[in-house]
Structure 1
Amino acid sequence: MKSYRNIFLEIGKSQEEIETRLNETFDEIFYGVNKFYETTEDGSMGYLVDTGNIDTRTEGISYGMMMAVQMNKKKEFDQLWNWAMTNMYLEDGDNKGYFAWSVATDGTKNAYGPAPDGEEFFAMALIFASHRWGDGEGIYNYSQKAKELLKVCLHHEEMYGGHNMWNEDGLIKFVPGLEFTDPSYHLPHFYDLFAENCDPEDETAWKKCAAASREYLKKACHPKTGLSPEYSYYDGRPYPDHEHFGGRHDWFYSDAYRTIANIGLCYEWADKDTEFGTWCRATANNLQEFFANLPSEDKRGIYEIDGTVLEGKALHPVGLTATIAQASLAADGAHALTAVEEFWNTPLRTGERRYFDNCLYLFAMLALSGNYRIW
């Protein structure tokens, strides 16, 4: 049975303290004073609200499902999945078989296209739910729904005439109809497991995706700072389109925080003893070194990926603290335990922007306590 590193023990916290803190974090997000989890009147569905935009997103619903399966919270998992299938699933149109990335809190679709990070988290959470709890009926036949979704992602063009979510080289797209990517979408440790749990004919394709993403991440993360852009070309170069998608995304900003957290988890799940794992360790060390050496007033700012400090402050500073700490799953440098200590001493965020920060916070809490696991 695979063992998982508990770094909180390494900074002197007791197992009881760690378990209490993890449970309190989940409870605050789902049921506390500053919660952003809501349920429908009949209790059949649940959704995480993006408190900055007052909508529900496949990002948040699928994140919530991953949190729930890791925490053994089947009720909340099923409520979230019911919301996704009832209000987000696209039964027809150009994106049939995918999920609408933004839906109002009353269930009305704000968009009719997907964001692929939602689909990949849906699929991984469903696979884990099947392994942890067993399959049910209908939409709760988790393994079947995961296989269906994974098939659509790779074969949408031949099945429905639309766009696949992964390109011919095995790289995930920012959205199916556009030819660039988001480094934080690249989850080779998920694709390894997709290959084991998909329809047999797609096993080779998912292995190709895993290998392609590992090579891509080496190009997307700066060799000295470890920073990655929010969007990039497939060769890793920052994507410079400032006129669309709400402005700049070629810098290290909100989406990009997730990349190093993903690299840390990939190291823990799959790559401790591989060549890619050596790269993960060096990249995590570089990123933590970069932040440790910044003047205090610049530590939660906005940066070019080469480390140039730009004007402005991070929109999600707590989320950034969480992901710098999660990098310690791979890092072994002078700042690895210090980053975890800083995260432990940082409270959950309050206020209107708490959704994204606190999702990253709970994932880091799971990962650093050895509770973000392969099921």
Structure 2
Amino acid sequence: MEKLEKTNEGSFFSGNYQNLFKEIGKTDEEIARRIECNWNELFGVNNSNRIYHQVGDDVGYMLDTGNLDVRTEGMSYGMMMAVQMDQKDIFDRLWNWTIQNMYMTEGEHAGYFAWSCQPDGTKNAYGPAPDGEEYFAMALFFASHRWGDGIEPFNYGTQAREILRTCIHNGENGIGYPMWNHENKLIKFIPDCEFSDPSYHLPHFYELFALWAYEEDRPFWQAASDASRNYIEISCHPVTGLAPEYAYYDGTPNDENGFGHFFSDSYRVAANIGLDYEWFRRDSSEIEVANKLQAFFSDKDPSDYRRYRINGEAFDEKSLHPVGLLSTIAMASLAADGPDRLKWVELLWDTPVRTGERRYYDNCLYFFSILALSGHFKIWMPKE
């Protein structure tokens, strides 16, 4: 894997963010209207297509409309969207609901968050999903830097550092499991297993955790960032760029339960590559993976996206989240340098948010892509 030198090209160093919508001819006014319109479609109180629901005076939740539950994935995504949009009230409502209903205080998962709850707050499970924890921590750091810390539970920075401490130190007292493997520094699918999910790997987050976590934990996060970039490269197919949903630590697909193919979870890998390259530009292999992925889908109709083996062989089964997949392919344009990189940006611009019962996952990925491609998925640094 070729490492790139630290330069002023990545947004972290330069403070500049690509705006690919402007590259396809959209004006600042058009882009601002689009972001606001899409935000209102997901979060507007009176919008029938919303996935955010306000409850009472101080809480709110993100509904998985396909499964009719509330997941740490969606709650942490909603918090990240809110901090990027400067919507502190919604951020605090989501975090309040999360703390009240998802946070676990006892047992082997103490300090983690129950990954699925009913809309009334009843836990459906007492296990965590690591993609929620890492997004919670990053969103909380950004909130701390953008708005400042308040009283608990709105002491955002402390909350973020405590989450990260639990993620890597849980189990040291003989109870529970960490969310990262301490030897190879790779994130697990769930704490008590020893395989991974390529879409959980967020090296751009870990770079920032290495700056803002408790000081004694910072070397771990820097090592995790390097390990995850390498893992993304080895888990993506060398020809198609497709990644499996689950994979072993050597990057090979884990298909023990049918999750070794390119399907719903896998879509996020393209988005993560795009944002990591936009922020840090550490690894040129991300350009290659993004180009291969976009080339693979270049002749495919979004209305006919399928489940695929990572070698590109298509199943009869159609994608459950075609808008989400299209969104992440477009977000990969932040890293891609192929001839069609802007084609995907135009295609996303011309695609509306998804409606219907499956809209939750698609529209989360969609809105992240809209933010990123417009230069509005930003790193919020501590105020001097």
Q: How does 1:152-301 map to 2 (within 5 A)?
A: 152-159=166-173, 161-168=175-182, 169-242=184-257, 248-271=258-281, 274=282, 276=283, 278-294=284-300, 296=301, 299-301=304-306
Q: Secondary structure in 2 aligned to 1:97? A: coil
Write out the 4+ residue segments of structure 1 that deviate beyond 2 Å after TM superposition.
296-299
Q: 1:269 to 1:159 in 2, by over 3 A?
A: farther
Q: Distance between the aligned counterparts of 1:71 and 1:297, measured in 2?
A: 29
Q: Distance between the aligned counterparts of 2:151 and 2:337, measured in 1?
A: 45
What do the CA deviations read for 1:156-192 (whole angstroms, capped 9, x no partner)? 0115621000002100000000111100000000000
Q: How does 1:123-138 map to 2 (within 5 A)?
A: 123-138=137-152
State the match for 2:336 in structure 1.
331
Query: Does 1:36 pair with 2:51?
Result: yes
Superposed displacement of residue 302, structure 1: 1.4
What do the CA deviations read for 1:45-104 (whole angstroms, capped 9, x no partner)? 010000000000000000000000011000000000001100000011110000000000
2:77–2:135 Cα contact (<8 Å) kept: yes
Q: How does 1:282-321 map to 2 (within 5 A)?
A: 282-294=288-300, 296=301, 299-321=304-326
Q: Distance between the aligned counterparts of 1:229 and 1:47, measured in 2?
A: 29
2:303–2:322 Cα contact (<8 Å) kept: no
State the match for 1:89 in structure 2.
103
State the match for 1:14 in structure 2.
27
2:302–2:326 Cα contact (<8 Å) kept: no
Q: Secondary structure in 1 aligned to 2:289? A: helix
| % identical aligned pairs | 55
RMSD of the alignment, in Å?
1.1
Q: Distance between the aligned counterparts of 2:69 and 2:314, measured in 1?
A: 32
Q: Secondary structure in 1 aligned to 2:171? A: helix
State the match for 1:54 in structure 2.
68
Query: Does 1:360 pair with 2:365?
Result: yes
1:348–1:361 Cα contact (<8 Å) kept: yes
Q: Distance between the aligned counterparts of 1:125 and 1:301, measured in 2?
A: 32
Q: Distance between the aligned counterparts of 1:360 and 1:172, measured in 2?
A: 21
Query: Does 1:75 pair with 2:89?
Result: yes
Superposed displacement of residue 33, structure 1: 2.4
Of the structure 1 ranges 63-72 and 307-316, higher mean CA displacement relative to structure 2 is found in 307-316
Which of 164, 167, 175 is the matching residue for 1:150?
164
TM-score, normalising length: structure 2: 0.93
Q: Secondary structure in 1 aligned to 2:172? A: helix
Q: Distance between the aligned counterparts of 2:162 and 2:171, measured in 1?
A: 15
Superposed displacement of residue 298, structure 1: 8.0
Superposed displacement of residue 297, structure 1: 8.0
Superposed displacement of residue 281, structure 1: 0.7
2:302–2:322 Cα contact (<8 Å) kept: no
State the match for 1:245 in structure 2.
none
Which consecutive unaligned segments of at least 5 residues does structure 2 have? 1-13
Of the structure 1 ranges 27-36 and 78-87, higher mean CA displacement relative to structure 2 is found in 27-36
Q: Secondary structure in 2 aligned to 1:140? A: coil
Q: Distance between the aligned counterparts of 1:157 and 1:309, measured in 2?
A: 41
Superposed displacement of residue 334, structure 1: 1.3
Which of 35, 39, 55 is the matching residue for 1:26?
39
Would you tell me which structure has more helix in proportion to its own residues?
A: 1
Superposed displacement of residue 293, structure 1: 3.0
Superposed displacement of residue 114, structure 1: 0.2
Q: Distance between the aligned counterparts of 2:289 and 2:304, measured in 1?
A: 18
Superposed displacement of residue 43, structure 1: 2.3
Q: Distance between the aligned counterparts of 2:245 and 2:340, measured in 1?
A: 24
TM-score, normalising length: structure 1: 0.95
Which consecutive unaligned segments of at least 5 residues does structure 1 have? 243-247
Q: How many residues align?
A: 364
What do the CA deviations read for 1:325-370 (whole angstroms, capped 9, x no partner)? 0000001101100011001000100000000000000000000000
1:228–1:305 Cα contact (<8 Å) kept: yes
What do the CA deviations read for 1:120-172 (whole angstroms, capped 9, x no partner)? 00000000000000000010000000111100000001156210000021000
Superposed displacement of residue 284, structure 1: 0.4
Q: Secondary structure in 1 aligned to 2:316? A: strand
Q: Distance between the aligned counterparts of 1:13 and 1:282, measured in 2?
A: 27
Q: Distance between the aligned counterparts of 2:50 and 2:222, measured in 1?
A: 38
